[in-house]
């Protein structure tokens, strides 16, 4: 049996948790929009074609923002194709996913759908094949009161009041040769600056995200980011990072230590942003928007990524298992631990495409990754606490000896609620974790455990609850100490009512 101790003091605060780290991402890709969120004619859809079973399943993820419409898709998207009477909207070639885009769902439909999900839009603009002018026009369409051409067009389309979109992404993965309109860093930086310059003049209340690297494996990793951040410093508020975790080598011990890599990426960006701030002798603080993250490696290759010029082909329909869920948990736990750096993050994606929810014509399937995300999003409020972990190590392949316990904690001073998230990454041994609370008494505690019959256990349409959290007992061997046993591998979430001593 592995052992670990986590020490917490509610005065040892990292930073307030920005709830926007629990955001999601919806792209025009595969069956994400069509047959995912929008399925007119299906009896599970409302009169506007929005699937209400999908909306109900998304609500417990408490997503403050949903990024839209891409992704790679946005870099050749003309947003004007997706507004106005549906019968007049053109069908277009989507070069990102070799599909046909019907444009039956566009900006106005997305805004309506966000309201139903209790989320807010995070819009991405096309800086690949379009530029500043088209980006500014979209902002005008979304945010200006009537009185100018694009705002009047919105009203003519039935939406008099502005949408007030607050967060905007200046393109997507412009560092990637696969991206429509991909350019070197200095050219992207100029495009982003020009778009940002128009956009912030029009609406100074918005926040802008510049593209950073699309992955740590990119040759231009951090250098692309540095160029964009430095050049656009006065215009932007965030730089983005993306990561998709993979287990191609099928080594669970190695894969389950993925949190070490996520920590490292955040550290890299912390260093980069601090460097540019110092170089510019600036008072401004720039933060990280980790606006695409997930596990994705099984549904890859032509079969899964090329739509053969069809509408809504089933693309990137990754099936998630227990080890994937524990990696998803480690993403959010890393974001909480570094709440000082990561202020926004988007689970990529939300329905059908690398998603916690799959649909068929009759309903939804909740995949394994859904559960840790829902639990963390529900419980983590207030401030991120420093975590002092003393844990048995385990062998994680070429990642070396890694602490078996990964931990994150939040404390809400408004009500004394403490949440603790514990992942046992060792796939072979259970772990006994003791949580020692330095400065609070425990008034009540409840806990759930997420595990499965093995690391590859997955929810299927036939067995939809193979991987789902179950309540467990928490021991209190002495005042101020909570003790749980976590299966190898598994995750325990603790919800603790406390009073400060
Ligand atoms: O989320 C799938 C794709 O992954 C996105 O379109 C792109 O930004 C990333 O490469």
Query: For each successive 10 residues of the chain (501 residues), what is the average pLDDT?
Result: 96 98 98 98 97 98 98 98 98 98 98 98 98 98 98 98 98 98 98 98 98 98 98 97 98 98 98 98 97 98 96 98 98 98 98 98 98 98 98 97 98 98 98 98 98 97 97 97 98 98 92
27 lines ligand 1 (CB under 6 A): yes
Q: Which residues are catalytic?
A: 173, 292
Ligand 1 touching residue 173 (CB < 6 A):
yes
What spacing in Å lies between the alpha carbon of 47 and ligand 1's midpoint?
31
**Residues 152/143, Cβ–Cβ less than 8 Å:** no
Pocket lining: 72 vs ligand 1, CB cutoff 6 Å: yes
Residue 235's pLDDT is what?
Answer: 95
Is 95 within 8 Å of 70 (Cβ atoms)?
Answer: no
Ligand 1 centre distance from Cα of residue 71 (Å): 5
Cα–Cα distance for residue pair 103/82, rounded to 1 Å: 5
d(CA 323, CA 79): 38
- What is the DSSP annotation of 37-87? TB-TT-TTB-TTSBBHHHHHHHGGG--SEEEES-SGGGGG--GGGGSS-GG
pLDDT at 378: 98
Q: Which residues have a Cβ under 8 Å from the Cβ of 187 and sit 6 or more positions away?
A: none
**If you take atom 6 of ligand 1, which residue's CA is the nearest one?**
71
Instruction: Find out whether 429 and 404 touch, Cβ atoms under 8 Å.
Output: yes
What was the pLDDT predicted at 260? 98
Ligand 1 atom having least distance to the Cα of 29: 6
109: nearest Cα among 195, 51, 168: 51
Q: Is the CB of 346 under 6 A from ligand 1?
A: no
Q: How far apart are CA 493 and CA 376, in angstroms?
A: 8
Nearest to 126 by CA among 28, 39, 206, 195: 195
- Ligand 1 midpoint to CA 173 (Å): 8
Q: Check if the beta carbon of residue 114 is closer than 8 Å to that of residue 108.
A: no
Residue 296's pLDDT is: 98
37: CB partners within 8 A, 6+ apart: 26, 50, 51, 54, 55, 105, 113, 351
Residue 64 is predicted with a pLDDT of 98
DSSP letter at 354?
S
Task: Give residue 40's pLDDT.
Answer: 98
**Ligand 1 atom at minimum distance from 292 CA:** 1
Separation CA 174–CA 294 (nearest Å): 19
Q: Encoding tokens for residue 336?
A: 């909480």
Report the alpha-carbon distance of residue 379 to residue 346 in Å, rounded. Answer: 18
Distance 226 CA to ligand 1 centre (A): 21
């Amino acid at each position: 049996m592995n052992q670990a101790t986590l020490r917490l003091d509610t005065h040892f605060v990292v930073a307030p948790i920005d709830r926007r780290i629990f955001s999601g991402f919806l792209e025009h890709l595969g069956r994400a929009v069509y047959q995912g969120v929008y399925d007119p004619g299906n009896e599970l859809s409302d009169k506007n074609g929005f699937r209400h079973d999908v909306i109900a399943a998304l609500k417990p993820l408490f997503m403050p923002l949903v990024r839209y419409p891409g992704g790679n898709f946005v870099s050749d998207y003309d947003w004007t194709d997706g507004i106005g009477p549906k019968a007049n909207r053109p069908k277009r070639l989507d070069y990102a996913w070799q599909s046909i885009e019907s444009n039956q769902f566009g900006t106005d439909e997305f805004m309506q759908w966000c309201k139903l999900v209790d989320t807010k839009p995070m819009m991405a603009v096309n800086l690949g094949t379009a530029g500043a002018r088209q980006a500014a026009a979209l902002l005008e369409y979304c945010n200006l009161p009537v009185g100018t051409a694009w705002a009047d067009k919105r009203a003519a389309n039935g939406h008099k009041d502005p949408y007030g979109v607050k967060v905007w992404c200046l393109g997507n993965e412009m560092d990637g040769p696969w991206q429509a309109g991909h350019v070197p860093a200095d050219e992207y930086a100029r495009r982003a600056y020009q778009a940002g310059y128009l956009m912030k003049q029009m609406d100074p209340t918005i926040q802008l995200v510049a593209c950073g690297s699309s992955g740590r494996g990119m040759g231009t990793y951090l250098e692309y980011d540095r160029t964009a951040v430095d050049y656009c410093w006065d215009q932007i508020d965030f730089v983005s990072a993306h990561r998709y975790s993979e287990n191609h080598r099928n080594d669970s011990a190695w894969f389950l230590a993925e949190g070490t890599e996520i920590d490292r990426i955040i550290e890299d960006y912390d260093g980069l942003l601090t460097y540019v701030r110092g170089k510019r002798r600036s008072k401004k603080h720039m933060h990280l928007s980790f606006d695409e993250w997930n596990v994705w490696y099984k549904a890859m290759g032509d079969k899964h990524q090329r739509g053969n010029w069809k509408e809504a082909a089933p693309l990137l329909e990754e099936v998630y298992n227990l080890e994937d869920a524990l990696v998803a948990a480690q993403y959010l736990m890393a974001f909480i631990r570094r709440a000082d750096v990561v202020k926004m993050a988007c689970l990529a994606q939300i329905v059908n495409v690398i998603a916690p929810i799959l649909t068929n014509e009759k309903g939804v399937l909740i995949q394994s990754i859904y559960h840790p995300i829902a639990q963390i999003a529900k419980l983590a409020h207030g401030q991120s606490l420093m975590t002092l972990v003393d844990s048995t190590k385990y062998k994680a392949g070429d990642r070396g000896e890694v602490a078996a316990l990964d931990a994150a904690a939040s404390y809400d001073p408004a009500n004394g609620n403490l949440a603790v998230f514990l992942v046992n990454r060792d796939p072979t041994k259970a772990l006994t974790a003791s949580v020692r609370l330095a400065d609070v008494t425990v008034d009540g505690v409840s806990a759930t455990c997420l595990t499965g019959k093995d690391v590859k256990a997955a929810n299927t349409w036939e067995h939809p609850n193979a991987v789902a959290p179950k309540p467990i007992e928490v021991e209190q061997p002495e005042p101020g100490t909570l003790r749980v046993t976590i299966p190898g591998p598994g995750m325990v979430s603790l919800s603790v009512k406390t009073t400060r001593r």
